[in-house]
Amino acid sequence: MSKIVGKLSWQNILFHAEPHKRFLRIWLAFIVALSFLYVIIPVSYELNWLSYYEPVKKGYVPFIDFHVGYPPIGFFIYLPYAVLSNFHTTVFVALMRMTNGLFLSMSVLLIYLIVNRVRGQNEGILSALVVMFSVSTISTNTCSSESIALFFALLAVYYMLSKKAALTGLSVGIGAMTKIFPVLLIIPAAKKLKPSRDKVLLLGSTTMVVLFANLPFMIGNPFMWIGAYTFHGARGPWETVWALIEGWYGHGGAEVLHPYYEVFIPYMQFRGIYPPSPSDHAYFLWSHPWLPTLLLILGLGSLLLSYFLINENSLLEGTALTLFSFMFFSKGYSPEFTVFLLPFVAMAFKRVRKILLCAAFEVGTLVQSIVWRPGMYSSSLLAFAVILRTALFLLIISLLTLHLIRSQEIVRRTIIRLPKISLRWFMDKLVIFFILSLLTIGISTQYLINTYSQFSLAVETKTRTNGIELYKTSTWDLSNFVKKDRVLLNVTSKSPTTVSLVRGNETVWTNTKPQYHTKGLFIIDNAAKSYSLTTFMAYPASNFTITDETSQDGFGKIEKEASALNLTVVDLGKDNVNSTLRLSWPINLVAAADFKVKVMYLQSNASRIILGIFSTTDNRLYEYEVATFNSSSIESWRQFEANSSSVTLEGQSSFNLQGHEIGAINIIYMVGDGANASFSLKNLEVQNMGKPKALDLGVRDTSQILSQIYVAHQYSLENPTMIYASYSALTLSSAVAWFSLFKKFEKETDRKH
C-alpha cells in the first residue's frame, strides 16, 4: 500500500482504488452535488460570453477582425458551444457549466493527488474538501474560465513533483493561453527541475505552445492580435487597494463608456481616438502616474524573491508564494480570481491554519461579489472587502516567506550555477545550430518589424457642424474609404436625431431610436460605392430631455401651440408592446414639507400619463398616475397635483420624499399597442418652501449637429509569401534553438555521469 501511495498516479487511482476509497466517495458525491447545483443556479454572467462571440456569428474571425480580452485557448474554449447551440442561451449555458464543472472536479482530484503525495492522505482530503465547500468557487465557476486555467496549473505542479519537464512546460503553456496566471508557475518549475536540460525543456515546451497558439493570428493581423494583450496595460486598477488609492470604486469592465463593437478597431489605433481619462477605466489616466510602473517593478521583484526562497522540500509553499506575491502587486482583482488562487492556499498550509485562511479568503470574496449584485452596491462595503483581502494576502505572503526562510536548505539551494563556457564549448555543432537559429530568428523578426512599421496606425478624423430643421434630413457625403476600413461615428445634437449610414440607396446602418448622442461603428465591405451620413431631426430642441421609447414600432411628435406643449404618439401595432415618450426636466432642490408638483393637461383618446419625481438621494423614480388607459378624452383642462399626501404607483406615501434631493421631474406618456393619442401640457409647476416655479415648456424647431467620423484603416497581407516565409523561419528556428540547447545540456549531463 505504501508503494501505491508513494507513487500516486492516475493509474493508481483508477486501478488501485482501495487505498483511496474514502476520497473517491467524497469526490463522486461532490460531482453529483455540483451537477445538481449547476442545474438550479440562475443564469448570470454566462450571457456575456454569448455577446463576446456575437461577431463570429456574423462571420468575423477573433484576433484578426476583432480583438478580445483573453488568450486564444481561453477565448475559443466555449466558442463551439455558441455555434452548435446557434446562440441558444439554455443550451450554451448548459454546455459551458458542464465544461467548467468537469474541469473543477478534475482540479479537486489533482489537489488530492498532489497533497496526498507530499503530506499524506488526510491532508489531501482536507485540502480537497476546502475547495469543494467554497461557495464563491462554485458560484463564480459557472461563468468564468478560471477552473480551466486552474486545472492546467495544477497539472503542471503534479508533473513538477514527477520532474517531467516537457509535460510541465506543456501544461504551463496551455494554462497561460487560457488565462495568463499559470505562466507564473515557470518560477517554481525552474527551481524544482534542477538539471539545465530540464530547465531548457521546460522553457522550450512552454514557449512553443505559446507560439503555436498565437501564430495564426500573428500572421493574420498582428495589430489586432497584440491588442488582446496590450489592452490590459491601459486599463485602470479595480477592486484592489491600488484602486482605492486612485479613487476608483468601480469594477474592471469598460462596457459603460465603450460598447462592444469598438473591439473591431485595434487597440493601437484606438489610443488615438480616446485620450486617457480618470473616468475611463479602459483608457485610464492615473492620478499617481508612477504607481503602475512601481507595481510592475515590485511584481517582478517578488518573482525573483520567490525563486530564491523556493527549495526542493517546499514546492507547494513556493508556488503559493509566487502567485500571491505577484497578485498582491497586481492592479486588479475580480471575484472569480479566487477560483484559481484558493486551491493553492489549501495546498500550501496544513490543518487548522489551512481552514482559517481559506475561510477568511472565502468571506472576502463573497463580500466582494455581493457588492455587484443588483441594488447592493456600496463603496464602503467594497473598500471593506478589498482591505480584508489585502490584509489576508499580506498574512499569507508573510507566513509563506517565514516558512521558506526557516528552511535549512535555502542557502545552498539559492546559489545559481552557470555552465562553464569556453571556446571549445562554442565549437560544438549543437551550439552552432543554436547560434544559427538565433540569427535566423533575429533576421525574421527584424523583417517583420520593418514590414509592419510601414503600416500607418494613424486614424483619419473628419468633423462637420451643421444646422438642421425639425422633420428635415441633412446629408453628408463621405468618400475615400478602403475595404475593411473601420468607421466610427460620433454624432451629437441638441435634439433627438435619427442617424443613418446610406450606401447608394441602401441604408446599411441606423440607430435604433432618435438620440441626442449617437455612437456607432460600421465596416466598409464595398469601397467602390459611395456612402453618406444622414441625420433627421425627429424632435424639437428644448431645455428638457426627450426620450423616444417606441422601439421602432411607432413614432412621436412634440410641437408647441400657443402656451401648450402638444405630444402625439402613434404605435404601429407590430410588437404587442405599448409605445412611450418620456420628458425629463432637470432640477436641483431638497424637498421640503410643502413640496408638490402640479400638472395641467388635456388628453385625447385612450392613453396613460404618469408623473415621475426622481430622487438622487436613493436613486429612485417615484411615479404617480395622472391618467389611466381607461380615462376618456377630455375637452377642458384638468389639473393633477402630487403632494405629501399622494400615493405612488408602488403604494408609497410622498411624505417619504421630504428631505430628499430631487434631481428631475418626468412626464411619461404612453399609448397602447396599435393605438394613437395626443396629450397637451399647459403647465408643469414645482412648489417648494412656498415658492412656485414653472418648468420651461418651450421648444425650438432648429438645432445644431456635430458629426465626427473616425476612419481606421486595417492591415492586410500585401506580400503574403515573404510574411509566411518569415514566420515559418521564425517558428522552425525557435524549435531548432530549443532542441539544440536541450541536446547540448543533455550531453553535458551524460558526460558528468
End-to-end Cα, the chain, rounded Å: 33
Q: What is the grid cell recorded at 28?
A: 463522486
Average pLDDT over residues 725-748: 83
Average pLDDT, the chain: 87
- Confidence band, pLDDT 50/70/90 cuts, at residue 3: very low
What is the distance between the alpha carbons of residues 485 and 504, in angstroms, rounded to a whole number? 18
pLDDT of residue 422: 54
CATH of the domain at 648: 2.60.120.260
**Taking the CB of residue 496, how many other CB atoms lie within 10 A of it?**
26
Nearest to 53 by CA among 95, 112, 11: 95
Instruction: Answer yes or no: is pLDDT of 5 > 80.
Output: no
What is the distance between the alpha carbons of residues 551 and 577, in angstroms, rounded to a whole number? 9
Instruction: Answer yes or no: is pLDDT of 426 > 80.
Output: no
- Confidence band, pLDDT 50/70/90 cuts, at residue 6: very low
Of 242-256, 283-297, 448-462, give the lowest mean pLDDT range.
242-256
What is the distance between the alpha carbons of residues 258 and 375, in angstroms, rounded to a whole number? 23
What is the distance between the alpha carbons of residues 357 and 748, in angstroms, rounded to a whole number? 45
End position of a domain, from candidates 413, 441, 474? 413
Instruction: Answer yes or no: is pLDDT of 176 > 80.
Output: yes
Q: Are 605 and 633 in contact (CB under 8 A)?
A: yes
136 within domain boundaries = yes
My answer on whether 332 and 480 are in the same domain is no
Phi then psi dihedrals of residue 351, to 5 deg? 45, -125
Q: What is the grid cell recorded at 310?
A: 523556493
My answer on whether 553 and 479 are in the same domain is no
My answer on whether 274 and 363 are in the same domain is yes
Q: Are strands 579-590 and 596-604 parallel, antiparallel or unpaired?
A: unpaired
In total, how many domains does the chain have? 4
pLDDT tens-digit profile of 115-138? 999 999 999 999 999 999 999 999
pLDDT of residue 427: 58
399 within domain boundaries = yes
3 state SS of 120: coil
Share of the chain above pLDDT 70, in %: 92
Q: Give Cα separations from 597 to 11, 448, 546, 685 (angstroms).
A: 77, 69, 19, 6
- Confidence band, pLDDT 50/70/90 cuts, at residue 4: very low
CATH of the domain at 467: 2.60.120.680
My answer on whether 581 and 674 are in the same domain is yes
pLDDT tens-digit profile of 342-380? 999 999 999 899 999 999 999 999 999 998 887 788 889
9 within domain boundaries = no
What is the distance between the alpha carbons of residues 190 and 101, in angstroms, rounded to a whole number? 31
My answer on whether 537 and 555 are in the same domain is no
My answer on whether 154 and 298 are in the same domain is yes
Of 237-241, 470-474, 506-510, 610-614, give the lowest mean pLDDT range.
506-510
What is the distance between the alpha carbons of residues 127 and 203, in angstroms, rounded to a whole number? 30
1 within domain boundaries = no
Average pLDDT over residues 241-256: 82
What is the distance between the alpha carbons of residues 366 and 372, in angstroms, rounded to a whole number? 10
My answer on whether 567 and 653 are in the same domain is yes
Q: Which residue did the predictor score with more confidence, 677 or 749?
A: 677
Q: Are 308 and 328 in contact (CB under 8 A)?
A: no
Which ranges constitute the DSSP H helices of 333-428? 337-348, 351-371, 379-405, 410-413, 423-426
**Taking the CB of residue 450, how many other CB atoms lie within 10 A of it?**
9
DSSP for 424-450 reads HHHTSHHHHHHHHHHHHHHHHHHHHHH
Q: What is the grid cell recorded at 739?
A: 532542441
My answer on whether 320 and 385 are in the same domain is yes
pLDDT tens-digit profile of 319-340? 999 999 999 999 999 999 999 9
My answer on whether 260 and 367 are in the same domain is yes
Q: Are 124 and 24 in contact (CB under 8 A)?
A: no
Instruction: Answer yes or no: is pLDDT of 389 > 80.
Output: yes
Instruction: Answer yes or no: is pLDDT of 255 > 60.
Output: no
pLDDT tens-digit profile of 402-415? 999 887 554 454 45
390 within domain boundaries = yes
**Taking the CB of residue 509, how many other CB atoms lie within 10 A of it?**
17
What is the distance between the alpha carbons of residues 195 and 190, in angstroms, rounded to a whole number? 9
Q: Give Cα separations from 696 to 560, 626, 683 (angstroms).
A: 12, 20, 9
Q: Which residue did the predictor score with more confidence, 522 or 586?
A: 586
Q: Residue 407 contacts by C-beta under 8 Å, 6 or more apart in sequence?
A: 311, 313, 314
Of 325-339, 445-459, 696-710, give the lowest mean pLDDT range.
445-459
Instruction: Answer yes or no: is pLDDT of 7 > 80.
Output: no
Q: Are 685 and 694 in contact (CB under 8 A)?
A: yes
What is the distance between the alpha carbons of residues 213 and 310, in angstroms, rounded to a whole number? 30
358 CA to centre of own chain: 26
What is the distance between the alpha carbons of residues 714 and 482, in angstroms, rounded to a whole number? 9
Q: Residue 140 contacts by C-beta under 8 Å, 6 or more apart in sequence?
A: 146, 335, 336, 338, 339, 369
13 within domain boundaries = no
Q: Is the dihedral of CA 542, 521, 550, 616 positive or negative?
A: negative
My answer on whether 475 and 584 are in the same domain is no
Range with top average pLDDT, 453-462, 606-615, 703-712: 703-712
What is the distance between the alpha carbons of residues 249 and 233, in angstroms, rounded to a whole number? 19
Average pLDDT over residues 259-266: 79
Share of the chain above pLDDT 90, in %: 50
Looking at residue 632, what DSSP letter applies?
Answer: P
My answer on whether 314 and 408 are in the same domain is yes
pLDDT of residue 631: 60
pLDDT tens-digit profile of 36-71? 999 999 988 888 899 899 999 888 999 999 888 899
Average pLDDT over residues 645-671: 84
**Taking the CB of residue 233, how many other CB atoms lie within 10 A of it?**
10
What domain range includes position 484? 460-542+703-712
pLDDT tens-digit profile of 490-525? 999 999 999 998 888 888 888 888 999 998 888 888
Longest dimension (CA), the chain: 108
What is the distance between the alpha carbons of residues 355 and 728, in angstroms, rounded to a whole number? 51
3 state SS of 240: coil
10 within domain boundaries = no
- Confidence band, pLDDT 50/70/90 cuts, at residue 421: low
What is the distance between the alpha carbons of residues 260 and 257, in angstroms, rounded to a whole number? 10
710: left (phi over 0), alpha (psi -120 to 50) or beta: beta
530 within domain boundaries = yes
Query: Grid coordinates 416655479 are at which residue?
Result: 693
My answer on whether 376 and 407 are in the same domain is yes
